[in-house]
Structure 1
Amino acid sequence: MYNKTLLLAVLAILFSGALRAQKSQLWENFKSCSKHGKTAELPDFSYAGYHHGEKAIPTVDYKVFDVTHFGAVPNDGKSDKNAIQMAIDAAVKNKSGLVFFPKGRFLINEDTDDTTPIIVKGNNIVFRGSGSGEDGTELFMKNHLPAKDPKKLWTTPYMIQFVGGGSEDLLTEIAADAGRGTHTIKVRNTAGIKAGDWIVLRVKNNAPDLIEKEMCGCHADEKWTSILNKGVYVNAYHQVMDVKGKEITLKEPLLRDIDKKHEWQVYRYAHFEEVGVENIAFAGNWHEEFVHHKDDIHDGGYSLLKFQRLANSWVRNCRFTDVNRAANFVLCSNVSALNCEVTGTPGHSSISSNASTRVLIGKINDSSSQWHAPGVTGPTLGTVLWRVKHNEDTSFETHASQPRATLFDCVEGGFFIGRGGGARQNLPNHMEHLVLWNYKELGEPEVDFEFWSSTTWFWKIIPPYVVGFHGAGTTFKEDQVKVLESLGTPVNPESLYEAQLELRLGELPNWIKEIKNN
């Protein structure tokens, strides 16, 4: 009896040890390279989010512009669109403002309204509601907006748009090679560039050697005319820390190598900053059975919130219900979308980083089964999807047009081909440095899952890093994975974003602890 009990105890200890998270060798490599100033295998994702993850999103105390003081009346069955726009315009004229919505339902696109979006153009403008729950603030969109071109299903505008301004002037050209992970670039001249400025590092070049490097040994199909004819396109936003002579020191590390022979240029970044949306429920009127690409209404009729050309801005504590597209961050840098929900009737897409740099999409719960779960599209760089959850009947967006360096970190949800997205001419779906870190798969497992599909044209991903993938029991075709580590068992650290941020700052910021445990 004693021997049997002892044997059971030993087996229990061994079994629990097998389930325990494994130490990641990629993480050990990252720590060692950071310590010794070398280029790590993994990119540094820790600079993603509002103020590079170093500051909490503020609760601003700007002058209040209460929409009810401009004629909006909740729950009265009449349009509030014009009153909301007047409150916005007053806040913009003031050069900062808190556009405040008390509790109740506000109507933003009724039969009496025109079909133009609500536009916000200004720095330091924050929409604040009185909660995104049932007894909070709801902005209700009764009627869909028409597409600018019904034949182009993606041209339906978003109902509420925060749009940055300025001019994107060419400043200089890059004069020397620079490696991924470094912070310094050499340029032809630094006239008009100073510490604190935001700049764009850009290349668009179809040189065969550049395309070959970007494809990482994979074959570019002749139908992929975007990359083959228009070229490799990188559009990276950076903040200047220092300027000395012809050297610019950047706040953030480069997320890819720069080869001067491919004619990289430096532009001014046209944008606004410190824009926020918080504590609001955005509701569409989408109640049909979704059919992908059926028409402009299915693909985007009820599109609610768009950020364009914004830096150090945020969306938090919001809900998106009965929408075709929830929220889209376009040409943005260091924007955070935190603690939001997508609910109601399934539609087209959830929350996306589009042609942006270092966007943080975190603590999102998409229970609506949007066709595309939260993800990336266009030439994004450094996007982090952190602790995102979606249903098992959908999968993340990787919508082609050259997204790079994306981290899916502690994501939980379905995992299968067919939901990445992207037109054939814009493939591959994702370029180098897609990282799946401790991804928990829900649903049915697959055997020898392919990232470079042999059965369809619409799923082509440069071999990614798959670390700590677990849950349903899927296995992978290993020659299509750059690094496969600890399949079936989570790794330590649990979150790569948190670990990299803590390593860089010396401690994990309180803001992330609070949101993580919320």
Structure 2
Amino acid sequence: MSGVFPSIEPISNAKTFAQQIRKKRPQRSQQWLCAIISMACALSFLASGGVNAGALAQKVHPKILNKELAQKHYLPDFSYAGYDNGNSSIDTSDYRVIDVGEHGILPNDTIDDSKALITLLEQLKNDEHPSVLQFAPGRYIISSIIYFDRNYTVLRGAGSGPGGTEFYFPRPLIYAPDPPELAELREYLTKLNKVQREKRNNIELPFTQWAWSGGYFWTRIKDQRVKKYLDKFDEPVRELAKPISATQGQFTVQVDTANTLSIGQVIEIQWLNDKGKDGPLIHELYKSEDVYVGSHHWNFANLPLSRQQVKITAIAGNTITLASPLLHDINNELSVKIVQWDHLHHIGFEHFTMTFAYAEPVAHHVEQGFNGIYLTRLFNGWVDDVRITNADSGILTEEVANLSINNVVTDGKKYAHYSVQMGGVHNVLVDNLQVKNKVEHPLSFNTFASKSVYRGAHVELDPILDQHSGVNHQNLFDNISVVVNLTDGSREYPLFAGGGAKYWKPSHGAYNTFWNINVHFNNGHDSTESVKLNGMNDGVAARVIGVRANLPITVEYGPNPYIEASNERLSYDSLYQYQLQQRR
């Protein structure tokens, strides 16, 4: 059994077990015997994952995996998420290792290391040799944004645990110079009068630019737009070819001419809605369901509502082959472009802790900027073995693809906005994320996230599997475990609650998937009444498979989900891993 509890065999008869103990140890007190009985019952119940022991004997093979049903209920192939679409492992064995101590960057000397690190990165800018910046054990102090705009660069510490490397951030980003890359966001927040209003708390404060953007370690292309907010900042897009026809889930695309394309090139395929409120792309994204669709879907005709950054693996005449399956159909009805996508590649962050000075949170969207890593314009990058303490947001993303974010822990006393957020991402894998702190959106698929995966995550406090509007679609919550405390005798919990602004509703587009979601209730065991897991009423064409708990549950999800195998163990703990094995 994966998730919160280890795999154990259920004890079939706790009473018989207790009788055997009594015969062997008659001198034990009645109190000790009761403890044994309680433990036996608890072990039996936990082993069953909230269902009876008989049901546990056989794992369920979900019908949606059968070819016949798959034709009726489309299930995306999520196995292409992650570095190199899951085809190879990260290998830095031939990277040159640079000891940062030789450049005056020393641990535990109470000297701010920001300027020395910025100088070292500047010296390496024109050096094309793949490089690892190796930090020693101990504490380094950082108070300036460290930009990473050089390919084949790794920031590596000595480990994220005791005796490892710690980066300490004594103050928030509100004291850093305004980044030019966020100028558009700053103007947008002002123009739309984005203000956090909480009358009860006497709060009427403007949003900060750090609420969902920015970080102390920041991958960027200098002066490159991070995200579209306002038309006035638009620049001409270089169209490489006009796509003619293709089928969702397939790998080939017919184009008018392939003369401007090449094998190994990374392109961006854009689907746009230039046909107003009733455009065909809106019907494609939301399957013509009767849900509220916000105005941002048609107020920006040149804004791609769906994007796929992908490598070309073959060209034959005017047919190109892609490295990962196509997000949507391409036909005469849909407005689709193939454009140039400027990006960085092979930048990694690994084996260290990021610790922020504790500060009481002000309000939602009024974060001061205790943000860890900000990944933008990155393809085939990674984060691995990183602990982040007392952050507003641990890791934020925008305009990235093919990333692996593995073995991250967020913790601390600070009430955070995000742990590891996925916004503007395609084919990103977040694997083994441990969320130990209280977070507004512990796991979150945000605006424009597609074909991305949270796998093996564990959320300990007030879990929400957030789908944050903004055309996020075809994403996967995979093999997730959460811990829930029911309040005031309630028999329901909003596990699927979705956030986001009204102008970007509904909460998600088609084919967002939940697979093997394991809920551990800390309380509520004084009743046999089922607990209702709910919170979503505008999530289109969701697949909700294998939600189970240590209490009886019902799953409520709207408007028309595909729900299967609730309260049951699945034959495959991870859909991502199953699909990866199927294609190999």
Q: TM-score, normalised by structure 2?
A: 0.76
**Which of 291, 297, 305 is matched with 1:227 structurally?**
297
2:326 and 2:145 map into 1 onto residues whose CA distance is: 36
1:321 and 1:217 map into 2 onto residues whose CA distance is: 43
The residue aligned with 1:482 is 561
2:430 and 2:514 map into 1 onto residues whose CA distance is: 15
Alignment identity in percent? 23
The residue aligned with 1:256 is 328
1:193 and 1:90 map into 2 onto residues whose CA distance is: 34
Query: Over the residues paired in the alignment, what is the CA RMSD in angstroms?
Result: 2.7
The 1:323–1:478 alpha-carbon spacing in structure 2 relative to 1, beyond 3 Å, is: closer
The residue aligned with 2:99 is 66
**Which of 387, 408, 416 is matched with 1:319 structurally?**
387
CA displacement 1:217-244 (0-9 Å, x = unmatched): 333437x111143367111111101112
2:262 and 2:52 map into 1 onto residues whose CA distance is: 58
The residue aligned with 1:515 is none
Does 2:170 align with 1:145?
A: no
Does 2:58 align with 1:25?
A: no
SS in 1 for 2:272: strand
The residue aligned with 1:112 is none
**Which of 278, 281, 286 is matched with 2:353 structurally?**
281
SS in 2 for 1:88: helix
- How many angstroms does 1:315 deviate by? 0.4
- How many angstroms does 1:387 deviate by? 0.4
1:77 and 1:306 map into 2 onto residues whose CA distance is: 25
The residue aligned with 2:135 is 101
Which amino acid in structure 1 is aligned with residue 172 of structure 2? Answer: H
Give the aligned length: 473
Which amino acid in structure 2 is aligned with residue 87 of structure 1? Answer: L
Contact 1:330-1:354 within 8 A present in 2 as well: yes
Which amino acid in structure 1 is aligned with residue 567 of structure 2? Answer: G
Q: How does 1:492-511 map to 2 (within 5 A)?
A: 492-505=571-584
Which amino acid in structure 1 is aligned with residue 468 of structure 2? Answer: H
Contact 1:451-1:481 within 8 A present in 2 as well: no
1:41 and 1:235 map into 2 onto residues whose CA distance is: 19
Q: How does 1:10-21 map to 2 (within 5 A)?
A: 16-19=53-56, 20-21=58-59
CA displacement 1:86-111 (0-9 Å, x = unmatched): 222233332231111111110001xx
Does 2:113 align with 1:80?
A: yes
Contact 1:391-1:442 within 8 A present in 2 as well: no
Does 2:321 align with 1:236?
A: no
The residue aligned with 1:247 is 319
Q: How does 1:289-308 map to 2 (within 5 A)?
A: 289=361, 291-293=363-365, 295-297=366-368, 301-308=369-376
Structure 2: segments with no counterpart, 5+ residues: 1-12, 17-43, 179-185, 187-204, 225-235, 485-492, 525-529
**Which of 542, 545, 558 is matched with 1:467 structurally?**
545
- How many angstroms does 1:151 deviate by? 3.1
SS in 2 for 1:65: strand
2:347 and 2:274 map into 1 onto residues whose CA distance is: 36
- How many angstroms does 1:164 deviate by? 4.6
SS in 1 for 2:285: helix
The residue aligned with 1:512 is none
Q: Greater CA radius of gyration, 1 or 2?
A: 2
CA displacement 1:396-427 (0-9 Å, x = unmatched): 33222111111100011156268633111111
1:290 and 1:257 map into 2 onto residues whose CA distance is: 45
Q: How does 1:399-410 map to 2 (within 5 A)?
A: 399-410=468-479
- How many angstroms does 1:63 deviate by? 1.9
SS in 2 for 1:261: coil
Structure 1: segments with no counterpart, 5+ residues: 110-115, 453-459, 506-518
Contact 2:495-2:533 within 8 A present in 1 as well: no
The residue aligned with 1:157 is 214
**Which of 432, 438, 444 is matched with 1:375 structurally?**
444
Does 2:289 align with 1:215?
A: no
2:473 and 2:273 map into 1 onto residues whose CA distance is: 16
Contact 1:106-1:138 within 8 A present in 2 as well: yes
SS in 1 for 2:118: helix
- How many angstroms does 1:15 deviate by? 5.4
Contact 2:417-2:440 within 8 A present in 1 as well: yes
1:338 and 1:197 map into 2 onto residues whose CA distance is: 26
- How many angstroms does 1:65 deviate by? 2.5
